[in-house]
Structure 1
Amino acid sequence: MTNAKTLGQAFDVLLQPDKFRDYGPNGLQVEGDREVKLLVSGVTASRALIEAAIEAQADAIFVHHGLFWRGQDGRIVGWMRERLRLLLTHGIHLFAYHLPLDAHPELGNNAQLGRLLGWQADGRFGDQDLGFLGVSTQPWSRPQALADHVSAVLSRPVTCVGDMGQQVRRVAWCTGGAQGYFEAAIAQGVDAFITGEISEPQAHLARETGVAFLACGHHATERYGAPAVAARVAQDLGLQHRFIDIDNPA
């Protein structure tokens, strides 16, 4: 069997959190009281995921979005109290890795999304090199065709803004809420930028520069890193692993 210290060390070796400036603590966020046989992975440490992990009789949970963030209210009340109560009552360990999980070159959110959508990464860009650059193995003649492909693969609507007549060959992508990376992507000379969310300024930039902006869902673009990392670590340590996807329209 594996304890929380051994499991945390395995995650740290793989994801190297000390290399990143992040918005919250990476690693063990809530310590349980049990040896680990079953590891559950998910995107966000929501109450629904915690309850599903309890139902599955999990010993540890591994997520991308943990419970604690820089600048948040530190009081343990309301929804925070309930999530912690469930974890502590059932002795479940909670591990969370944010930017390190986005950035891993093979198993991270960006790498896994690129693999899923058929893009060959050949470069990085943006703050802390979180964004990926690459070429589509199936060049799309127009942004809407690319948007339709992404929508079909991710099973959700995609917002596409920009020059609909532009041929798409070179793409940039960064999962989740990376709309602030759009200008850096434009500077790389790409034809399209793919992320999870769009804010008001990006629509104007897409129209004015001709670079297509595709907003494909924060949750939908970040479903793939956590199970990939958890499955690898579970295999290395001889643990069982189960991915539980809690649907989120955002």
Structure 2
Amino acid sequence: MMAILVNCVFMTMTAPPEITDYVTMFVDLGNLSALRAFRVLRALKTISVVPGLKTIVKALIESVKNLRDVILLTVFCLAVFSLLALQLYMGTLLNKCVRDLPTDNNTSSNVTDETYMAHINNETNWYYYNGEWPLCGNASGAGQCPAGYTCLPGIGTNPNHGYTSFDTFGYAMLSSFRLITQDYWENLYQLIIRAAGPWNMLFFILIIFLGSCYLINLMLAVVAMSYADANDNVRL
């Protein structure tokens, strides 16, 4: 199409330059059929036709403006929860049951720091059950290791390919956000309870009540108020 238009322009010239013979070789823009996808934008015209839909869209736009303070409050609370979890559970999800070293006299006398570190970092010496390395803890009520194993900290990687942890502020904020949104939060709850003890349920009660039940519903309240104001303006 572009080649035809260029040829038509130069056909109107009395003495077109010779270079114009090669212009059409470089104006091929390929297949423009993908631009037809923009036809779906015609559906936006229905916003001005349907009164109720127009009110909803206006309410959503206004709610984005009103949610500024709520979002700042949510980020602040999320940072506080993350710092608290960072102090409580840093390295907790790295606890694993490691097989004890042989206790015979000949072997125990030859154990060095290098051989000990090689022993505890060898995955074959970790307690493996039901397709995973279960967590353990030395606190009261935490998960216990079977006979012949000892619960050691800082072994291996964190659960879920290393993404579930409170070892850094970034991962702590990610895990806290997971709790606030209740995205498979029970798995993280069970991991912490097994590694740190049942009294840690108080932390989860706090973050879920304030985060999920209060902050998230506060956002919904702002959206509902924006819709009510937009609906009242339409009636007036």
| Structure 1 or 2: more helix by fraction | 2
Higher relative contact order (CA 8 A, sep 6+): 2
Q: Fold conserved (TM > 0.5)?
A: no
Larger radius of gyration: 2
What's the TM-score once normalised by structure 1's chain length?
0.23
Normalised by the size of structure 2, how large is the TM-score? 0.24
More strand by share: 1
